[in-house]
Structure 1
Amino acid sequence: MPVMHFLVRWPDGSEADCYSPSTVVGDFFAPGERYALEDFVERARRALHIGSERVREKYGFACSAAMDQLAQIEQTAAAFAGVADAAVTVIELR
């Protein structure tokens, strides 16, 4: 199953290399695009759940790494919840 990484820049300028067990993340994000914080989290949530379910369909169990990645995204995003116009930039998909 092909995996995909997506490099993001958080509102404070920090960057994170994120993991997806599936290329489906490419259906939700485009390199160079900025997403409002809540939109980014919701897109990541949907993409990672789909990727995890694809793993379940193929191997019979969900992808815990996808859920761990989602938890990390949600935790980091929570730190910016009160920041006006907070946005996340997707730097690249690979």
Structure 2
Amino acid sequence: MPAMHYTVRWPDASETTCYSPSLVIQDFFTLQQDYPLPEFLRRLREATAIANERVQAKFGFTCSRASDQLSDTERRAASFAQTPESCVRLLAFGPAD
């Protein structure tokens, strides 16, 4: 199963490289497009759930790294939740290590 990295730019202009165990993340985001924070999280949760379903079907267990990545991203997003206009941008997709 091809895994991938994707790079997120946060509202404060910082960037984070994230992990997905599946290429499905590309079906939920368009590069260089801004997503309001709630929309970004909704899409990311759905993509992560599908990725975990694919891992479960292939290996018999979900991907703890994907679940950890989602938790980390949700914690980071919470720091911007008080700013209603906060947007996140997907900068790049790339192969996983």
**Shorter-normalised TM-score: what interval?**
over 0.9
Letter in 1 for 2:47: A
Structure 2 equivalent of residue 43 of structure 1: 43
Hey, what's the Cα distance between the residues in 2 that align with 1:66 and 1:7? 15
User: Offset of 1:78 from its aligned partner?
Assistant: 0.5
Name the count of aligned residue pairs. Answer: 94
Distance in 1 (alpha carbons) for counterparts of 2:69 and 2:33: 20
Amino acid at match of 1:61: F
SS at the partner of 1:62? coil
SS of the residue corresponding to residue 2 of structure 1 reads coil
User: What amino acid maps onto 1:58 in structure 2?
Assistant: K
Divergent runs of 4+, >6 A: none
Segments of structure 1 that go 5 or more residues without pairing to the other structure are none
Q: What pairs up with 1:50-65 in 2 under 5 angstroms?
A: 50-65=50-65
Which whole-Å CA distance do the structure 1 matches of 2:18 and 2:44 have between them?
10
Query: Given the alignment of the two structures, is residue 74 of structure 1 paired with residue 56 of structure 2, yes or no?
Result: no
Structure 2 segments unaligned to the other structure (5+ residues): none
TM-score, normalised relative to structure 1: 0.97
TM-score, normalised relative to structure 2: 0.94
1:14 Cα deviation after fit: 0.6
Identity %: 48
